Amino acid sequence: MLFIKKLMEASTIFTPERGGERRAIYFQNPGLTYRQPWGWASTTQTLYAAAQLILPGETAPSHRHSQNALRFITHGEGAYTIVQGERIFMEEGDFLITPKNLWHGHAHLG
């Protein structure tokens, strides 16, 4: 999978020490006219999708967004998401949906 290769390459450039709190490749719809406050479009107006890499010991701080988020776990074990304070472990093959506007964060125990 090309995006996994690109994420692994990104892991050497975007590190937590360099401000890389969220290492992800975002899927954007170039035909979507609606733009987020940070300046780029989402996949649809109601869906936000990205390929994200969280290495052992890393965390992605809690955040929220106006689109629903979906996660399909392709590799690894030991990572979890926290949605509205509830820790949900993510295992290979899992599919998770986080409804819009809910606070959520991610971490990887190692």
pLDDT, tens digit, for every residue of 15-64? 666 655 567 777 777 777 655 555 555 677 777 677 778 888 888 888 88
Domain count, the chain: 1
Higher pLDDT, 59 or 81: 81
Per-residue pLDDT at 101: 92
What domain range is 66 assigned to?
A: 2-108
Does 8 score more than 70 pLDDT?
Answer: yes
What is the per-residue pLDDT for 32? Answer: 73
Q: State yes or no: pLDDT of 5 exceeds 70.
A: yes
CATH code for the domain of 32: 2.60.120.10
Share of the chain above pLDDT 70, in %: 79
Query: Do residues 39 and 51 make contact, with C-beta atoms less than 8 angstroms apart?
Result: no
Cβ 24 vs Cβ 49: under 8 Å: no
